[in-house]
């Protein structure tokens, strides 16, 4: 623990907390200040100027990261018959109907995303207490309640992620791994912020994205200039 703490302090010393880094600069710092011996995850957190307690200010959606997250998602699909076969062919990890619903109700949550066909949602809906707190409940707004289960599975396996503002008005995104190139991480960041901006609620007043912070697993936070939203790879300040 002492070694990790020393590594963290050394990394933190390289970051000017009073400076807002361009996304490209932040990515470079993230790669330079990673403190783990393994390939750390790179994340970005946005603080939004919304009140998530109000339905007209909820920010929720999906985005397909052009370079994926660096992790192959485990996808569970609630489907039967032909749709179940299509899900398996598309690469779903767990597929089933009533028996799988019972298994999840008993506490099985070893998966990263869940998809369901509309005809099973009457039964899947009863899993809210298990899936809801983990952000795993299928939802038509995020494309995870659909008859086209093959497409849904392929998109999730290809880097599609769901996001939802939390009660503190924060959004968290995984944008890749430290081993990703600078260009890949910046392009994933750009895809994330573009979709967040597109979903700005009309009821949101004032500054919409008030803060952005880039971090690596167990690493220090890097303040990002959230106003930089276009031509991010052209902003080479080094």
Rounded distance between C-alpha atoms, residue 43 and residue 214, angstroms: 6
pLDDT score at 154 = 93
HEC readout, 45-66 = EEEECCCCCCHHHCCEEEEECC
- Please report, in tens digits, the pLDDT of each residue of the chain (238 residues total): 444 568 888 888 888 888 999 999 999 999 998 888 899 999 999 999 999 899 899 898 889 899 988 888 899 999 999 999 999 999 999 999 999 999 999 999 999 999 999 999 999 999 999 998 888 999 998 899 999 999 999 999 988 888 888 989 999 999 999 999 999 999 999 999 999 999 999 888 889 999 999 999 988 999 999 998 877 877 554 4
pLDDT at res. 158: 87
User: What separation in angstroms does the CA of 31 have from each of 10, 13, 34, 36, 92?
Assistant: 14, 15, 6, 11, 32
The reported pLDDT for the residue numbered 76 is: 97
The length of the chain, given as a count of residues: 238
């Amino acid at each position: 623990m002492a070694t990790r703490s020393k590594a963290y302090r050394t990394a933190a010393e390289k970051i000017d907390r009073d400076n807002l880094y361009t996304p490209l600069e932040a990515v470079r710092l993230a790669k330079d200040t990673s403190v783990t011996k393994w390939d750390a995850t790179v994340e970005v957190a946005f603080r939004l100027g919304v009140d998530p307690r109000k339905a007209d200010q909820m920010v929720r959606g999906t985005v397909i990261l052009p370079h994926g997250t660096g992790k192959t998602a485990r996808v569970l699909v609630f489907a039967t018959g032909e749709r179940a076969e299509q899900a398996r062919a598309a690469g779903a990890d767990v597929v089933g109907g009533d028996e799988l619903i019972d298994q999840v109700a008993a506490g099985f949550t070893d998966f990263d995303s869940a998809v369901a066909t509309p005809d099973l949602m009457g039964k899947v809906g009863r899993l809210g207490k298990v899936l809801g707190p983990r952000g795993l409940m299928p939802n038509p707004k995020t494309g995870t309640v659909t008859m086209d289960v093959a497409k849904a599975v392929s998109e999730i396996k290809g880097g599609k992620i769901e996001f939802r503002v939390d009660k503190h008005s924060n959004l968290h995104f995984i944008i890749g791994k430290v081993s990703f190139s600078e260009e890949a991480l910046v392009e994933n960041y750009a895809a994330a912020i573009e979709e967040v901006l597109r979903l700005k609620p009309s009821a949101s007043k004032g500054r919409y994205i008030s803060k952005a912070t880039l971090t690596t697993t167990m690493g220090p936070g890097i303040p990002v200039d959230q106003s930089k939203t276009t031509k991010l790879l052209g902003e080479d300040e080094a």
